[in-house]
A and B are shown apart, each in its own frame.
Chain A
Amino acid sequence: MRVYPTASFQLPAPIENMHVGLEHYLTVSFLLFSLGLLGVILRRNLLVIYMSLELMLNAANLALVSFSRFNNKLDGQVLVFFIITVAAAEVAVGLALIVALYRKRQSAHVEDLTSMKL
């Protein structure tokens, strides 16, 4: 047990107890999501932006599975099953779009893609 300066001061749960609980998984999911968000904002290559989007989807999957486990229901896992399937379909269509775009514009740089007309 650690001694805190005042009686009412309490660190957030992930630091205070080392036994792994729901908040640890949620912290990992949050950090992964913010990493994906930073990747979408900061990178300019179209494919790396798309990969950061997949990172965000994975973070949401982790949050759903951890909630499903700690609430003792299986509905979160069913939703993750659907999310993985829909993400696979989305990646196929998105990559077909990127290939078609590259054929027209000869560039996969976000700053070169300035008009919506293909």
Chain B
Amino acid sequence: MEAINNMLGGTAVPDVLFYVFATLTLLCGVLVIANPFSRSPVTSAMFLVLTIISMAGLFVLLHAFFLAAVQILVYAGAVMVLFLFVIMLLDLKEEARRKIKFFGLIAGIISVGGIITALVKSLASIKPAATEPALEGETYALGKLLFTQYTLPFEIVSVLLLVAMVGVILLSKKKLE
């Protein structure tokens, strides 16, 4: 650890890890939407899985260990597997390349430029925090908060999952009767 610190000129290892995970996340995010080598949705799904896993790494760096585990279990393990099931069930062809319409390009540039402006303005007014905050007993504190202060949303979300299950079964019947 000390050797690595000296080699990097004094920057801490968590900082380097942040840049590694952030670059990995953004690179895989770009490859989800714009892959120059293959336009099939399976490739996009695989890169989305990689994006989700690197985001779990970013969560670990933010000391949200329970959420990192939940992200990998639920998002990468269940949601993306469901996506891949459906993609392979539908057996889609690759979409053909086309010329991007000029109006769409202008609208995209304007909207992204607006978001960039809002972000730069808000970032310029952030004052850097003096010290690193310290949360102790993370998962225990999270569970305590979840079951005391947020009990009602918790129960409502479980009813929501039941409703979603019933809805999926209803939507996949061949004839509605």
Interface residues of A (CB under 8 A from B): 12-14, 17-28, 30-39, 41-45, 47-48, 50-52, 54-55, 58, 61-62, 65-66, 68-72, 74-75, 77-78, 80-82, 84-93, 95-100, 102, 108-109
Q: How many residues on chain B are close to A (CB under 8 Å)?
A: 78
Residues of A within 8 A of B62 (CB): 25, 65-66, 69
Q: Are B90 and A19 in contact, CB atoms less than 8 angstroms apart?
A: no
Are A12 and B79 touching (Cβ within 8 A)? no
Q: Which 10 A-B pairs have the closest CB atoms?
A: A39-B33, A89-B164, A72-B133, A96-B171, A96-B168, A35-B29, A69-B62, A20-B18, A28-B22, A95-B86
How many A-B contacts at CB < 8 Å in the complex? 214
- B-side residues, CB < 8 A to A, are 11-12, 14-15, 18-19, 22, 25-26, 29-30, 32-34, 41, 44-45, 48, 51-52, 55, 58-59, 62-64, 66-67, 70-71, 74-75, 78-79, 82-83, 86-87, 89-90, 92, 95, 98, 100, 104, 107-108, 111-112, 115-116, 119-120, 123-124, 126, 128-129, 133-135, 138, 141-142, 145-146, 150, 153, 157, 160-161, 163-165, 167-168, 171-172
Give 7 A-B pairs besides A75-B145, A78-B142 with Cβ atoms closer than 8 angstroms. A41-B107, A69-B64, A72-B133, A88-B74, A92-B164, A93-B168, A95-B86
Known: A28-B25, A77-B64. A20 touches B14 (CB 8 A): yes
Contacts of A89 in B (CB 8 A): 160-161, 163-164
- The answer to whether A80 touches B29 (Cβ under 8 A) is no
